[in-house]
């Protein structure tokens, strides 16, 4: 049953993407729909990172003892200054590890 579900979801995902990518198909997006879809990636990414950073053990945690918030703050500054994904990831990772270590002392 699980394999069937995975296969059907793969088929649905492929079909919906193929309709918009293949140049010979007559399906075209209007300007309003294209503008609306441009907001989908930031919305999905925000829905992923907000609970990870701000919610620990089922409660809102915006204190300075939150290593996720500390690392995210350093990563945001690094991204704004460097515009390098690798440097941003490295600084965020180092900030997270150091803050976890220092907060447990």
Measured CA to CA, the distance from residue 93 to residue 68 in angstroms comes to: 10
pLDDT of 89 reads: 96
- For 44-91, give the DSSP string: HHHHHHHHHHHEETTEE--STT-HHHHHHHHHHHHHHHH--HHHHHHH
Per-residue confidence (pLDDT) for residue 29, from 0 to 100: 73
Q: Where are the domains of the chain?
A: 1-38, 46-105
The answer to whether the predicted template modeling score (pTM) of the entire model surpasses 0.95 is no
pLDDT in tens, 56-69: 999 999 999 999 99
Task: Examine the pLDDT at 27 and tell me if it is beyond 70.
Answer: no
pLDDT digits (tens, 9 = 90+) for 32-51: 887 887 888 899 899 999 99
At residue 35, the pLDDT reads: 86
How does 79-93 read in b/e, with b if 16+ C-beta sit within 10 Å? beeeeeeeebeebbe
């Amino acid at each position: 049953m699980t394999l069937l579900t995975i296969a059907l979801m793969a088929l649905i995902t492929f079909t919906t993407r193929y309709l918009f990518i293949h140049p010979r198909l007559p399906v075209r997006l209007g300007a309003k729909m294209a503008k609306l879809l441009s907001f989908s990636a930031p919305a999905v990414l925000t829905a992923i990172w907000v609970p990870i950073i701000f919610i620990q053990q089922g409660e809102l945690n915006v204190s300075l003892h939150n290593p996720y918030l500390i690392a995210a703050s350093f990563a945001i500054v690094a991204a704004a200054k460097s515009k390098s994904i690798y440097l941003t990831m490295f600084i965020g990772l180092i900030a997270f590890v150091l803050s976890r270590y220092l907060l447990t002392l």
